[in-house]
């Protein structure tokens, strides 16, 4: 009797961190670079164009997509939630 080899499935959950931005928005390609997930803007653009980046669980192909407070970005096993720090004006 032939037995099938055991299949081992490992599920890796990426730990989500928070990243604070100054202002209300940041462009996706800039964010990847600021996070240090890529070495250059051109590498960020290429990674986005290849469909390797998700925003809120959806593949994002727009390099300059405006990332807002609360958005979740995933790339290469890394995951971050954006926290926008909006300056308040005092009278």
Per residue in 39-57, pLDDT (tens digit) is 999 999 999 999 999 999 9
Report the distance separating Cα 89 and Cα 46, nearest Å. 39
pLDDT tens per residue, range 32-43: 999 999 999 999
The pLDDT, as a whole number, for residue 10 is 43
Residues 84/69, Cβ–Cβ less than 8 Å: yes
DSSP sequence for 26-81: EEHHHHHHHHTSSSSHHHHHHHHHTT-EEETTEE---TTPEEETT-EEEETTEEEE
Residues paired with 22 in a beta bridge:
85
16-85 is classed in which CATH architecture? Roll (3.10)
The pLDDT, as a whole number, for residue 4 is 47
pLDDT over 90 percentage in the chain: 64
Q: Which residues of the chain have pLDDT under 70?
A: 1-14, 89-91
Domain parsing of the chain, residue ranges: 16-85
Q: What is the pTM of this model?
A: 0.77
In terms of Cβ atoms closer than 10 Å to its own Cβ (0-12, 13-18, 19+), residue 25 is middle
The pLDDT, as a whole number, for residue 14 is 55
């Amino acid at each position: 009797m032939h037995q099938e080899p055991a299949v081992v499935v490992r599920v890796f959950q990426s730990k989500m961190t928070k990243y604070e931005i100054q202002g209300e928005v940041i462009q996706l390609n800039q964010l990847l670079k600021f996070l240090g997930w890529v070495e250059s803007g051109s590498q960020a653009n290429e990674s986005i164009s290849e469909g390797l980046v998700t925003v809120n669980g959806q593949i994002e192909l727009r390099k300059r997509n405006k990332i807002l407070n609360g958005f979740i970005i995933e790339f290469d096993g890394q995951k971050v939630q954006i926290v926008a720090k909006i300056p308040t004006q005092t009278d």
